[in-house]
Amino acid sequence: MLPIESGDMSPPPSPLILTQDELKKIAAYKAVEFVQSGMVLGLGTGSTAKHAVDRIADLLHQGKLMNIIGIPTSKKTHQQAVSLGIPLSDLDTHPIVDLAIDGADEVDSNLNLVKGRGGSLLREKMIESACKKFIVIVDESKLVPHVGASGAMPVEVVPFCWKFTQDRLQSLFDYAGCVAKLRSNNGGEDGEIFVTDNGNYIVDLFFKKDVGDLKIASDAILRLAGVVEHGMFLDMATTVIVAGELGITIKNK
Ligand code: 5RP
C-alpha cells in the first residue's frame, strides 16, 4: 500500500485524457493544414473525415481558403458539404483530385488500409485512387499488426445471388478461418439488409488468421464475378496522420 503523506489528502493531478473523438479531430485538423486554395479535394466519409470537412468549411467561410472544389465520397458527406456551403463536383468533371482526406478502419505498418466499415468503400476507392495525394487520418486505435486484425474486411457485392458470392468469398479464405456475413442495419442476422449508396450489399469478412499476401488476396476477391469492390486499400495512402495520447505522428509513404 502506498504511504499517504499527512496533511495532503488530495489526489495526484491526473494526466489529460483525450476522448477518441478528440483524437480524431486533432488528426483531421492537422490534415487540413495541407489544403491549399484552388485545390480539388476528395472529401472522406466517417466520424473522423467529418471533422476535416467541417474544418475546410470553416476556413472557406473565414476567407483563409478560396476556390476549393470538393468531391464527396458518399451521399452523407455530400449532404454535409452542401449544408456547409462547400462547392462540389464529381470525377466526371474533375478526373484529377489534388488531395483526398479520409479516415480508415485499420492501418498496417506499410500504410495499407481497411476501409468501408462505414459502407462507402466503392466511392472512396474511386476518388482516392484518382488523387495525387491521399492523407489518411486516424486515432491510434486504428493501427494494426496486419490487415484484418481488428474486425471486418468489407466487400461490396451485387444483390443478385449475394449468398452465392458470400459463400465463394468465405471459401477463398478458408485457410485464414474466414467467416463471411451479410451486413445488416442492426448488425444482427435477421436485420434489414444494409444497402450502399450504389444500391449494393456488403459482405463482411472476419479472419481468424492473417490472410498473408494482400495483393494475392485482393486479386482473388476481385476475380469473383459478383464482387464490385473490396475495402483493402493497398499502396494508396501517401500520408497517414495518427493522433494519440502522446501527440501526432505523421507517416509518409
Ligand atoms: C467509411 C470508411 C471510414 O473512413 C472508416 O470506417 C473510418 O470511420 P471513422 O472515422 O468513423 O472511424 O471507410 O466507409
What grid cell was written down for 94?
A: 474533375
Other beta carbons within 10 Å of 237: 24
Q: What is the pTM of this model?
A: 0.93
Q: What is the pLDDT of residues 60-96, one digit of tens each?
A: 999 999 999 999 999 999 999 999 999 999 999 999 9
- Looking at residue 14, its pLDDT comes to 62
Question: Which one, of 121, 124, 133, lies nearest residue 97 by Cα?
Answer: 133
Question: Whose grid coordinates read 494494426?
Answer: 144
Does the pLDDT value for residue 117 go beyond 80? yes
Q: What is the pLDDT of residues 192-206, one digit of tens each?
A: 999 999 999 999 999
**What does R_g of the chain's alpha carbons equal in angstroms?**
20
Instruction: Provide ipTM, 2 decimals.
Output: 0.98
Find the 128 Cα to ligand 1 centroid distance in Å: 14
Judge contact between 26 and 246, C-beta under 8 A. Answer: no
Q: Report the length, in residues, of the chain.
A: 253
- Looking at residue 187, its pLDDT comes to 82
Q: What is the pLDDT of residues 154-197, one digit of tens each?
A: 999 999 999 999 999 999 999 999 999 999 998 877 789 999 99
92: exposed, middle or buried (Cβ count in 10 Å: 0-12, 13-18, 19+): exposed
Question: Which one, of 31, 28, 83, 27, lies nearest residue 50 by Cα?
Answer: 28
Dist CA 133 CA 33 (whole Å)? 13
Query: Three-state SS for 232?
Result: strand
Segment (H or E) for 41: strand 40-43
Dist CA 159 CA 176 (whole Å)? 25
Q: Amino acid identity of 48?
A: T
What grid cell was written down for 79?
A: 449532404
Q: Which residues pair with 182 in a beta bridge?
A: 203
121 Cβ inside 6 Å of ligand 1: yes
- Looking at residue 188, its pLDDT comes to 75
Residue ranges with strand state E in the chain? 40-43, 69-72, 97-102, 106-107, 113-114, 131-139, 153-157, 179-182, 201-206, 227-230, 232-233, 239-244, 247-252
- Looking at residue 83, its pLDDT comes to 98
Q: What is the pLDDT of residues 36-56, one digit of tens each?
A: 999 999 999 999 999 999 999
80 Cβ inside 6 Å of ligand 1: no
- Looking at residue 15, its pLDDT comes to 65
Find the 54 Cα to ligand 1 centroid distance in Å: 16
- Looking at residue 189, its pLDDT comes to 75
Residues 218-236 have a mean pLDDT of: 98
For residue 175, give the DSSP letter: G
Catalytic (active-site) positions:
124
Find the 106 Cα to ligand 1 centroid distance in Å: 9
115 Cβ inside 6 Å of ligand 1: yes
Alpha helices in the chain (DSSP H): 20-32, 47-61, 75-84, 121-128, 162-172, 214-223
